[in-house]
Structures are given as C-alpha cells and as structure tokens.
C-alpha cells in the first residue's frame, strides 16, 4: 500500500461508541447537528443546550448521534467531551457539505450545518434528523444570491428533517418556492401552516399535513419502497402560539439586525450566525429561550419518529 492509499483510508466516518452499539442492536437513532451548538447559540448556554438536546432524544426512546469533525475526523455520535470542545473552542469551522473533505484533509475541528449533517447522516443510514430552523433563501437574495446549501443538499438527501420551518431571518416564501423546484417534500406537523422558526406561523400554507410519528414513518417506508425520488422530507413543527417570540419584538429586532448586517458588510456563512447572535443579545435572551424550546421540541418529535420507523420498536 502506498502512502497515499493509506491516507485515503484515514478519511472514513467514525462512529461514537453509543451509535455503534445502537446500529448493531437496531435501535432508533436521531442525527443532530453541531453548528447550532458552535455558531447558533451563545456560550456558555450552548453546551448545556447541546446536552439537553441529546437527553431529550434519549427520554423519547432513541439514541442521539450528534455529528461533527474533530481533528479532521468526521464523527457520527460525538462523545460528550468532543461536544464540549466544539462548544467552547475558538476557531471551530462551520462545515457545509463542500467543506467536509477540506476539513478532513487539513485536520480541522468543525461543526456541521443542516446540509452537512443530513448528508453524513443519510450516508450513515440514519433516517431522521432534528434541528432548529433550516437555512434557505435570504432576503435580498435576488441581489446577493445568498441561498443556503441546506436546500440543494436536501434535494438529494433522503432524510426526514424535523425543524420549525426555515429561520425567520430568511425569505420564507421564496424558500418554499425553491424547495418545490428542488424536489424537497414539505409538510406541517398537525397543521398546514408552515412555521416561521421564532414565530408560530411563517405566513404560508403547505400542501401536506402529517399528524403522527407513525404517519411520518409511513412516508419514509413508502419512499424507500418506491425507490423514486431521493429528496428530503422537511417536517415543519411549529411552536405553540403562547411559546413564540412576540411577533412585534421579532420584526423590530430583525429590521435592526438586517441594517447592522448591511452596515458591517457581513456576507457568506457569517450571515446566519451574525443575525442569530443579534437576536439573542438584543432580546435579552428571550429569543434564546424560544430557540432552545424549538430545538428540544424537534428533538422529541424526531425521536418519536425514529422509534415509529424502527420495526422492533413500533
Ligand atoms: N438552526 C438554528 N440555529 C442555527 C442553524 C439552524 O436554530 O445556527 C444553522 C444550521 O446549521 C443551518 C445553518 O444549516 O444555520 C444555515 O447557515 P447558512 O444560512 O449559512 O447556510
Ligand atoms: Mn448563505
């Protein structure tokens, strides 16, 4: 074996012990992203929340597989100390799909976005993934072309993404249009109103409503049986109205954030973390509380879906 073939062999996905056991025993597994932890939530709350997300998955009968990169190694099922590292270390990269090989070959520490997490999870045979809000088409995208790689990746990745819609900092209508074009399936959980992340109602109807984990498991089975269509199912799980961020506060904070974004010339992958950080600091933690509730609710539902989709557990 030459040096280079040995090197190539180093780039396989590594499974955390708990995920290896779960795969061996056929237990339900839920994929979780790490960008939310490293770039989406402020320290020190981010570590506490990362642990709460995993615990919520366990409490609902599934095994959490938080995905990320440590020293260039792509890991499905980060150990607690590794999550702690990604939550607290400086210089953790935000890894989309296109960054994975670059991070691996350069020995990076990195957190995976919705795009990268779903691609890796699907490659690992995991069918359900929980996050907060998807990336999508940014406002002003007709000038900036800023559209998250979450959308194009989900168009070719067979996984169920449980989320509270797309982040309300985006153009929700344009994002729904793009998901239609890209062949990403969309349904509301218990509603046909597509949620708006911090706010319950994102202002748009979707074509499908699904009402139970068993029904969603049925969609997964039908897709697998038909073998037609490789795209994701985005399941919008809205916050109850009394738990949302006050819409007036939301709109004012967003307007201010967008102004700061333009003033500071923030672009590329810094946009989303910048706007989320602006929300969390200028609402004095109110948006943070809401963000955490969103993620925990999605983690619980994702675990219930994974359980319903796992034969021995249904
Ligand atoms: N949802 C949250 N917080 C986040 C994100 C999602 O509640 O921080 C992250 C996800 O990792 C998502 C990314 O993939 O934001 C989108 O970034 P961009 O718009 O640069 O693609
Ligand atoms: Mn972007």
Would you call 266 exposed, middle or buried from its count of C-beta atoms within 10 A (0-12, 13-18, 19+)? middle
Q: Which atom of ligand 1 is nearest to the CA of 138?
A: 19
Confidence of residue 128 (pLDDT cuts 50, 70, 90): very high
Give, as one character, the DSSP assignment of residue 77: S
pLDDT of residue 9: 57
pLDDT digits (tens, 9 = 90+) for 159-175: 999 999 998 889 999 99
Determine the Cα–Cα distance for residues 310 and 314; give it in Å rounded to an integer: 6
CA torsion sign for 137, 140, 141, 144 is negative
Q: Are 67 and 76 in contact (CB under 8 A)?
A: yes
Residue nearest to atom 2 of ligand 1 (CA): 132
pLDDT of residue 3: 42
Which of 300, 159, 163, 128 is CA-nearest to residue 238?
A: 163
pLDDT digits (tens, 9 = 90+) for 49-81: 999 999 999 999 999 999 999 999 999 999 999
150: Cβ below 6 Å to ligand 1? yes
Q: Indicate which ligand has the atom closest to the C-alpha of 150.
A: 1
242 is in an annotated binding site: no
Determine the Cα–Cα distance for residues 72 and 105; give it in Å rounded to an integer: 6
In the chain, what are the helix, strand and coil shares in percent, each to the nearest 5?
Answer: 50, 20, 30
**Token output for 193:** 């109103």
User: What ipTM was reported for this prediction?
Assistant: 0.93
Give the distance (Å) from ligand 2 centre to CA of residue 138.
7
Give the distance (Å) from ligand 2 centre to CA of residue 178.
14
248 is in an annotated binding site: no
Give, as one character, the DSSP assignment of residue 8: H
Q: Are 114 and 99 in contact (CB under 8 A)?
A: no
pLDDT of residue 5: 41
**Token output for 103:** 């991070």
pLDDT digits (tens, 9 = 90+) for 217-265: 999 999 999 988 789 999 999 999 999 999 999 999 999 999 999 999 9
pLDDT above 60 (res 151) = yes
Active site residues: 33, 167
Q: Which whole number is the average pLDDT over 267-273?
A: 92
Give the distance (Å) from ligand 1 centre to CA of residue 107.
23
pLDDT of residue 140: 87
113: Cβ below 6 Å to ligand 1? yes
Ligand 1, pocket-test mutation among 45, 133, 234, 278, most atoms within 8 A of CB:
133
């Amino acid at each position: 074996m030459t040096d280079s073939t040995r090197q190539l062999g180093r780039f396989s996905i590594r499974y955390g012990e708990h995920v290896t056991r779960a795969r061996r025993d056929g237990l339900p597994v839920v994929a979780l992203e790490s960008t939310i932890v490293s770039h989406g939530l402020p320290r020190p709350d981010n570590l506490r929340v990362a642990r709460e997300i995993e615990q919520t998955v366990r409490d609902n009968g599934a095994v959490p597989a938080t995905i990320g990169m440590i020293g260039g190694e792509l890991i499905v099922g980060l150990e607690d100390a590794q999550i702690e590292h990604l939550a607290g270390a400086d210089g953790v990269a935000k890894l989309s799909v296109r960054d994975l090989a670059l991070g691996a070959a350069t020995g990076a520490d990195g957190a995976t976005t919705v795009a990268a997490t779903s691609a890796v999870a699907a490659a690992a045979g995991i069918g359900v993934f929980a996050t907060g809000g998807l990336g999508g088409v940014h406002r002003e995208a007709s000038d900036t072309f800023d559209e998250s790689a979450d959308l194009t990746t989900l168009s070719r990745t067979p996984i169920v993404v449980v989320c509270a819609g797309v982040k309300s900092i985006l153009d929700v209508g344009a994002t729904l249009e793009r998901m239609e074009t890209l062949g990403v399936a969309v349904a509301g959980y218990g509603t046909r109103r597509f949620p708006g992340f911090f706010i319950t109602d994102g202002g748009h109807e979707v074509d499908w409503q699904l009402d139970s984990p068993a029904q969603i498991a049925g969609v997964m089975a039908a897709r697998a049986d038909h073998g037609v269509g490789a795209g994701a199912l985005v399941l919008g799980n809205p916050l109850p109205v009394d738990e949302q961020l006050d819409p007036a506060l939301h709109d004012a904070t967003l307007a201010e954030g967008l102004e700061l974004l333009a003033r500071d010339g923030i672009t590329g992958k810094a946009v989303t973390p910048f706007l989320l950080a602006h929300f969390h600091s200028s609402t004095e933690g109110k948006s943070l509380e809401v963000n955490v509730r969103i993620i925990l609710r999605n983690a619980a539902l994702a675990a219930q879906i994974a359980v319903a989709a796992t034969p021995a557990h249904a």
